[in-house]
Amino acid sequence: MTKNQSFETVFFLNMKIAIAQNNYKVGDILGNVNKITNSIQKAKEQNVDLVVFSELCICGYPPYDLLNFDSFINACENALKTISKVTENIAVIIGGPTRNPDPKGKALFNSAFLIIEGVIQNTVHKALLPDYDVFDECRYFEPETTLNVIDFKGVKIALTICEDLWNIGNEGLYKVNPMEVLKQQSPDIIINIAASPFDYEQQEKRYGILKANAEKYKTPLVYVNQVGAHTDLIFDGASLVLDSKGEVLKSLKSFEEDFAIVELQKENISKPFEARPKIELIHDALVLGIRDYFRKSGLTKAVLGLSGGIDSALTYVLAVKALGVENVFGLLMPSEFSSAHSIEDALKSVEKVGGTYEIIPIKDAFNSVSETMLPVFKDLPFNLTEENIQARLRALILMAYSNKFGHVLLNTSNKSEAAVGYGTLYGDMCGGLAVLADIYKTEVYELSKFINRNKEIIPYNSIHKAPSAELRPGQKDSDSLPEYAILDQILYRHIELAKSAKEIVSEGFDEITVLKIIRLVYLNEYKRFQAAPVLRVSPKAFGSGRKLPIVACYKQVSSI
């Protein structure tokens, strides 16, 4: 205690900790180093003892097969040296890859470094390597087997990396719980650096895991997560500091960069954890996902097809929020089957935000293709073929616009459609990014109503009219699919909850409908294999986190 310091302000751990929640870019090592060094300087200006960064922040997470390039690891090592040079009068905890000196095992470790006065005092490797859903860390990293606390200013730190805290409880995925080993060394604080991807259940689940650790080991906990989107994966930040009872002392922003300082005192004021509404989280995640996809790819402008339906209207509004109205262009491509109100609704969705558009009818192009194919098709009746021709003509026009003006095509398909193949390959499935493909149609309605909570932005008629592809006279989605309220419940149980047809039927759903829907899911795996990257917001999205064979035979889809 200093001469002028009262007992009430003595720091329990005698240190001032800064949390640097940054948005990194995978592979942009120089840019990431600049963000890190800027945060270190900011921490120095506020007389911070220790500043903590997120998992693999030097290279960005997830780097995937970039880790296989020797030059990439060399660049990470050089970056670590650069960062070390700016650590005078401060300590830094930072994440990056390191080489495994043992010729046996994987070539790398996923590591955390404690740097003090330009010297790497400690290097801690990740012990638990996830290989489920979107994770594939066992592909690259060797797990740590020797666990020890590290010392900083007489404070014993249990330095852990993301998954190392998640094997708590009776149903863990791993045989080892790193904290059970570290607790034998009586740590004073747990610091966890993480790259924990977002889904709409994750914030609440994550808090439960962190709280359980703080409570069980009776130790305050500092958790630092990265923020930002990397193609399909979105990271929400939402870093936390908990006291030894698991109560929240500090919470950082969601979906934004943030910087916070915590001083752990004997009498800290805690607050309850506040779970944000699911649809609000999805909204913010999708806007960040679009923005970072463009910004980190060096892109600025988007184009999409506007049909007057709710999916395209919602995608348009989200893109405008992410990129600015001046950077989003709408193309209306009516056919002879398009209704007048659809054109009106599409125009209204653009006018509501002051956007720009063009109308390019496809009737003549469709007639030209039909005439070209007449010698082959002869007098065969109009069917799915003609519907698909219209969808592919629209994709041709959109891609022509994309090529000519450098706009990225945004795909507007939702998860319900993607699940059952209700979309045309090389037609309305085209695009550089699938914005809505991880939210079901019923969630599309919820999100649209959320956006309209204060005023009409998405046309009310687009929300309330019966959905239709308008590729033949009088067509409605319900002609070939159950009502979305039923369809989405079946899909959610099968995709997110991994329930069989028998289990779903036992919950009261019609057997014929369930078998039909699940059969469609498997039949259309080939389409999703060729689809645009999907912004992941659910616990089980199509894409990197769901791996199923295209050519397979699974008996449950034909009978119960």
pLDDT tens string 178-207: 999 999 999 999 999 999 999 999 999 999
Same domain, residue pair 472 and 416: yes
Same domain, residue pair 254 and 373: no
Determine the pLDDT at residue 10: 29
Q: What is the mean pLDDT of residues 73-101?
A: 97
Specify if 539 maps to a domain.
no
Which domain-ending residue is among 444, 477, 510? 477
Specify if 500 maps to a domain.
no
Tell me, what DSSP letter sits at residue 381? P
Highest mean pLDDT among 109-123, 448-462, 463-477: 109-123
Same domain, residue pair 249 and 349: no
Q: Which tens digit of pLDDT belongs to each residue from 278-318?
A: 999 999 999 999 999 999 999 999 999 999 899 999 999 99
Specify if 9 maps to a domain.
no
Determine the pLDDT at residue 557: 55
Q: What is the mean pLDDT of residues 402-407?
A: 96
Mean pLDDT for the chain? 91
Q: What's the domain range around 469?
A: 282-477
Count of alpha carbons within 13 angstroms of residue 226, beta-carbon side: 30
Q: What is the mean pLDDT of residues 398-409?
A: 97
Residues 218/180, Cβ–Cβ less than 8 Å: no
Determine the pLDDT at residue 335: 87
Q: DSSP states of 15-53 as a string?
A: EEEEEEE-B--TT-HHHHHHHHHHHHHHHHHTT-SEEE-
Residue 2 has pLDDT above 60, yes or no: no
Determine the pLDDT at residue 357: 94
Specify if 147 maps to a domain.
yes
Same domain, residue pair 99 and 227: yes
Determine the pLDDT at residue 8: 27
List the Cα angle 226/131/122 in 5-degree steps: 55
Measured distance CA(536)–CA(546) in Å, rounded: 11
Same domain, residue pair 222 and 161: yes
Amino acid type, 518: I
Determine the pLDDT at residue 552: 77
Same domain, residue pair 290 and 255: no
Residue 366 has pLDDT above 70, yes or no: yes
pTM: 0.93
CATH number at residue 345: 3.40.50.620
Q: Which string of b and e fits 310-324 if b means at least 16 CB within 10 Å?
A: bbbbbbbbbbbbbbe
Q: Which of 496, 397, 89, 433 is nearest to 286 (CA)?
A: 433
Amino acid type, 346: A
**Active centre residues (catalytic):** 55, 126, 162
Calculate the alpha carbon distances from 395 to 289, 300, 305, 389, 412 in Å: 23, 20, 9, 10, 12
Specify if 38 maps to a domain.
yes
pLDDT band at 266 (very low <50, low <70, confident <90, very high): low
pLDDT band at 5 (very low <50, low <70, confident <90, very high): very low
Residue 271 has pLDDT above 90, yes or no: no
Say which residue, 270 or 62, is predicted with more confidence: 62
Which domain-ending residue is among 477, 512, 536? 477
Residue 438 backbone dihedrals phi, psi, to 5 degrees: -115, 15
Same domain, residue pair 175 and 324: no
Residue 13 backbone dihedrals phi, psi, to 5 degrees: -105, 5
Same domain, residue pair 317 and 434: yes
Q: Which tens digit of pLDDT belongs to each residue from 239-255?
A: 999 999 999 999 999 99
Same domain, residue pair 186 and 256: yes
Measured distance CA(34)–CA(220) in Å, rounded: 30
Amino acid type, 313: A
Same domain, residue pair 393 and 468: yes
Determine the pLDDT at residue 292: 98
DSSP-derived 3-state class of residue 96: strand
Specify if 513 maps to a domain.
no
Specify if 54 maps to a domain.
yes
CATH number at residue 183: 3.60.110.10
Amino acid type, 290: I
Counting the structural domains of the chain, the total is 2
Which domain-ending residue is among 425, 460, 477? 477
Same domain, residue pair 256 and 289: no
Number of Cβ atoms within 10 Å of the Cβ of 373: 14
Same domain, residue pair 241 and 288: no
Measured distance CA(299)–CA(433) in Å, rounded: 12
Q: Which two tokens stand for residue 421?
A: 């193949």
pLDDT band at 14 (very low <50, low <70, confident <90, very high): confident
